[in-house]
Structure 1
């Protein structure tokens, strides 16, 4: 996530990767445990989807940084 994205992001998007992953794990655990109403289960699922998207954006950003560092090390040749 770029600095600009962090400044203009909503509260969820400001979560670090570790925060989003930890909350996602908690959501999954609650869904697996069961005992929630259908409405609560749906809300948890939706929250989990949002958290998974945040984690994926962080991972994609990390991949982009690694690729850029490799290209720079290899003399700037594009991948």
Structure 2
């Protein structure tokens, strides 16, 4: 479950922190406990990013649907 702080993160902030988490995991040298904590944080950040991207996709889909409806309405009224 994401925290209130995570909810307030912007997409770019969450993405940048996720990149850093992945970098640290790939570099190694952390204890098992630290690695697990980093992995859990990465999962939380990935969820935040996913929500932002899903929201952006929904906004784009809505805008495209509205534009399509307006074009259909304009085409229909032009044939009368």
1:46 corresponds, among 40, 43, 50, to: 40
Pick aligned residue for 2:4 from 3, 10, 13: 10
TM-score in terms of structure 1 length:
0.83
Matched, 1:58 2:79: no
Aligned-pair CA distance for 1:13:
1.0
- Structure possessing the higher radius of gyration over alpha carbons: 2
Count of residues in Structure 1 that have an aligned counterpart in Structure 2: 69
Q: Tell me the SS of whatever aligns to 1:36.
A: coil
Pairwise mapping of residues 62-73 of structure 1 onto structure 2 (< 5 A)?
62-73=56-67
RMSD, aligned α-carbons: 1.6
Q: 5+ residue gaps in structure 2? A: 73-80
Matches of 1:11 and 1:23 in 2, distance apart? 13
Gaps in structure 1 of 5+ consecutive residues: 1-8
Runs (4+) off by over 6 Å: none
